[in-house]
Structure 1
Amino acid sequence: MLNPEVVKFPAPENFVSYSQHSWHDSHNDHSWQRVIDHHPFNTKVSLLLPDTPSLPEFLHDSLTTNTEFYLIKNLPVLEFCSPVFLQAFLKTGQLYAVSCKSLLDVDNTAALTPDGQLHLILNKFTYQELSLSGTLSAHILRKPLERFVVKVNMKEPSFKPGRPHYTTVTSAFTQVHLTFTFWLTWIPDDTGVCPSSIAKYFHDLGYSVEERKSSLSQSIVTEVDMPVLGKDGEDTDPEDVFEWIGCQTLGVHLKTEGTTVCEVVTPKPSTLVNNVCSLQCTGFFTPRQLSSLLSQLRLWLKQRSESAVPWLSMTVYGHPDSPINWGTSEHVYHTNGDNLYTLVILRDQLRLYKVSCSRKPQRMYVKSNKNK
């Protein structure tokens, strides 16, 4: 029997935005590039490639070469404050680190972004014990109020040994031993420096460091009715295109004619294509790697016949338990943690779908009726 109280909870909100962009726009108009750059922690990439019975070598290399990242176990946050670490890594490259074995709604979580911001979401006990300035989480309404946000800017001038702010932060992290298992990758500004230097640094300090690589899986559908986009004035509805991409990614069989409201029908107009490859790649991807992948997909598309490969799609999924998702915005909890985007790649344009959770606080308790 269903709990009768469940119906009293409001449904979580999310937003799907859609926009079209010409490849010939000036750089300042590349809002799609800002979407890629402002989505720091990416754990899965999904590609749909028509007329691709076998994975192209360039694509395999792009997704598996130089995409290594590191799993560092039981790493104290205090290590990020070390003067040696700040000078050698934080100030000389782009660093992405996020706690990977903690749940956002019940555990303490942490992330470090390339701009030098350390983001923490803490329970009430840890927050009070830490005694650093923070704020109540803005995206949840619950009783008791027990989730707090702490941010530390490690690139500001006052964050260095001898300064009061640095002393306050390091003293707090010394007294409260905050440790996490991190996914971490570092892109040095100097191309002559090996990115694995950061792994050696932590290994030499005695921490367990494991190199991880992305993994690939794929499936092929021999015949698919693919939505028509931008051809002789014909264009499938954007919502139907987005739904079609999701169905192909999940392996949902589409019906030619719908018989119930629950069935998903083939979008119209559509064209028959062969050997659609649905490729799933899991790992830890930086915005720079995804921008490079997009450029390679564009070049490959130009080399293919338009009738065989009308367009491609790339969907990027964010980490579901990272403290932030878009830019430096606080990530909401498991009421709705949607944070993904889909790029539909055509020869003359790009179409962007961005899925984000509501910025409105989500109520996690049943609102009482005082009139009863």
Structure 2
Amino acid sequence: MFAGLERTPRTLLVCERSSFLDDKNRLSAQVEQLHFNYKVSMLLPDCSSAPSHLEAVFNSINSFYLIRKLPIHELLDIPFLETAVHQGRVSGLSYGTRIDEDNCVALMPNGHLTLSLDKDSFELLGVEGKPSRFNQRTNNRFVVSVDLTDSAMAPGGRGYQRLVKGLRSRLQLKTDFLLSRHPGGGASLQALLSRYDWSEHRPEIRSHTLQDLSCPLLTSDLQSCDPHRLLEWLGAVDAHVSCENVSNSFLSSLVCPEPQSRTSGALSVSVCGLLRPQDVQRLIQQARAYLEQPQVEPWVSLTVHGFVDSPVSWGDEEHGVLKGGELFYSLLLFQDHTYQLHLATGAHDTCPP
């Protein structure tokens, strides 16, 4: 057997229990740490259709843009910097690139620009960087991280000119690029969009009603439920994989964690796109409002997936895909205003916040 197949890759799972009524809870700050969200899934047990206020939040999530073959030096264009980047109205991510093979780019809402480059591209760029944490034998990948709001990167300064020259004249890096449309920030993008081939996309919303579903008996203390098995079950439900584990089926060995109960129906709803942390915050607020209604099940789950090939994971930390690329968190909300948060990353990432 190959050495790499002898053991399951290490993963990181951080579990935290707190209450929305506790002023010291960190949930809001933790949600803000994951800048690029690809998918949000919600599971509402004993529910057949999304409540109107929750559906309104899904439908109000802003659209985003896909720009084809965008020269990355355009992100340093002075009008774009002044009207979009410095105002915190924009964030973006290279699209269709693989973090373990290609050059990848992330522009974060705090104005930080991160480039994950192969060795040849890094040497062509000619600016300061550091070896990737995920180099295994040789330094074949490097990371360049720049704060575009820092005075050292002011237009006309030495640092700014060197980076622009590297991206425009030496490296000439181009990539398909996803660009967010923050509220009030659409006008600041028009000059950039007018120069390139682009398309606007609405987040894709899917809902699925589940009949006769086995659910774990979840309480706010969760002492009897193993978090790994719970996350497996939530993932199986979201992927429409049966957890009945009947004797004549060999497709799946997943089962619903014990103790369990049977519900006549449940609603699984998800939204996919380039989603901002603020969108997730609004969904959490509406999930809490749903739990305040009478005669509903005492819990709701919300799972948020980051982009597998994003060059950043939590905050400004580097993200790597060598074996798995997991980057998600799952939130269980209860009627008594408590919650349990599970944060997960792959085998080589740093510990979530």
User: Which residue matches 2:206?
Assistant: 217
Provide, for residues 136-169 of structure 1, a one-character-per-residue CA deviation record: whole Å limited to 9, x for no partner: 1112303x43111111211101212332111211
Q: State TM-score, norm by structure 1.
A: 0.86
From 306, 318, 322, the equivalent of 2:306 is: 318
Q: Which stretch has the larger CA shift, 222-231 or 283-292?
A: 222-231
From 33, 44, 48, the equivalent of 1:49 is: 44
Provide, for residues 106-130 of structure 1, a one-character-per-residue CA deviation record: whole Å limited to 9, x for no partner: 1111001112111001111111111
Q: Is the 8 A contact 1:107 1:123 kept in 2?
A: yes
Q: Match for 1:209: what amino acid?
A: W
User: Which residue matches 1:76?
Assistant: 71
From 276, 287, 291, the equivalent of 1:301 is: 291
Provide, for residues 34-67 of structure 1, a one-character-per-residue CA deviation record: whole Å limited to 9, x for no partner: 2211001101111111122223333332122242
Give the C-alpha shift of residue 7 in structure 1. 5.0
- Looking at structure 2, the residues matched to 346 and 114 of structure 1 have their Cα atoms a distance apart, in angstroms, of 31
User: Which residue matches 2:244?
Assistant: 255
Larger radius of gyration: 1
Q: Which stretch has the larger CA shift, 7-16 or 52-61?
A: 7-16
From 22, 25, 50, the equivalent of 1:25 is: 22
Give the C-alpha shift of residue 105 in structure 1. 1.2
2:6 is the alignment partner of 1:12: no
Q: Which stretch has the larger CA shift, 5-14 or 82-91?
A: 5-14
Aligned to 1:268, what secondary structure does the other structure show?
A: coil
Aligned to 2:91, what secondary structure does the other structure show?
A: strand
From 264, 273, 281, the equivalent of 2:263 is: 273
Aligned to 2:305, what secondary structure does the other structure show?
A: strand
From 270, 273, 277, the equivalent of 1:283 is: 273
Q: Match for 1:210: what amino acid?
A: S
Q: Match for 2:284: what amino acid?
A: L
Q: Match for 2:165: what amino acid?
A: S
Q: Is the 8 A contact 1:318 1:340 kept in 2?
A: yes
Q: Is the 8 A contact 2:88 2:111 kept in 1?
A: no
Q: 1:323 to 1:7 in 2, by over 3 A?
A: closer
After TM superposition, list the pairs within 5 Å mapping 1:126-275 onto structure 2.
Answer: 126-142=121-137, 144-175=138-169, 176-187=171-182, 194-204=184-194, 206-230=195-219, 235-255=224-244, 263-275=253-265
- Looking at structure 2, the residues matched to 236 and 138 of structure 1 have their Cα atoms a distance apart, in angstroms, of 34
Give the C-alpha shift of residue 275 in structure 1. 1.4
The percent identity for this pair of structures is 27
Provide, for residues 303-359 of structure 1, a one-character-per-residue CA deviation record: whole Å limited to 9, x for no partner: 1414xx221101010001111111111111242211000011111211101111244
Q: Is the 8 A contact 2:292 2:335 kept in 1?
A: yes
Provide, for residues 209-258 of structure 1, a one-character-per-residue CA deviation record: whole Å limited to 9, x for no partner: 21111112222221122222227998534343323212211222223788
The ranges of structure 1 where at least 4 consecutive aligned residues each deviate by more than 6 angstroms after the TM superposition are 231-234, 256-262
Aligned length: 347
Q: Is the 8 A contact 1:257 1:265 kept in 2?
A: no
User: Which residue matches 1:331?
Assistant: 319
Aligned to 2:96, what secondary structure does the other structure show?
A: coil
Q: Which stretch has the larger CA shift, 171-180 or 238-247?
A: 238-247
Give the C-alpha shift of residue 185 in structure 1. 1.1
- Looking at structure 2, the residues matched to 214 and 233 of structure 1 have their Cα atoms a distance apart, in angstroms, of 33
Q: State TM-score, norm by structure 2.
A: 0.90
Aligned to 1:141, what secondary structure does the other structure show?
A: coil
Q: Which runs of 5+ in 2 are unaligned?
A: none
Q: Match for 1:90: what amino acid?
A: V
2:117 is the alignment partner of 1:122: yes
Q: Match for 1:50: what amino acid?
A: P
Q: Which runs of 5+ in 1 are unaligned?
A: 189-193, 362-372
2:59 is the alignment partner of 1:64: yes
Q: 1:72 to 1:7 in 2, by over 3 A?
A: closer
Q: Is the 8 A contact 2:220 2:340 kept in 1?
A: no
- Looking at structure 1, the residues matched to 26 and 257 of structure 2 have their Cα atoms a distance apart, in angstroms, of 28
Q: Is the 8 A contact 1:89 1:95 kept in 2?
A: yes
Aligned to 1:52, what secondary structure does the other structure show?
A: coil
User: Which residue matches 2:102?
Assistant: 107
Q: Is the 8 A contact 1:225 1:270 kept in 2?
A: yes
Q: 1:181 to 1:9 in 2, by over 3 A?
A: farther
Q: Is the 8 A contact 2:65 2:181 kept in 1?
A: no
Q: Match for 1:246: what amino acid?
A: G
Q: Is the 8 A contact 2:62 2:202 kept in 1?
A: yes
Q: Is the 8 A contact 2:37 2:304 kept in 1?
A: yes
Aligned to 1:166, what secondary structure does the other structure show?
A: helix
Q: 1:231 to 1:24 in 2, by over 3 A?
A: closer
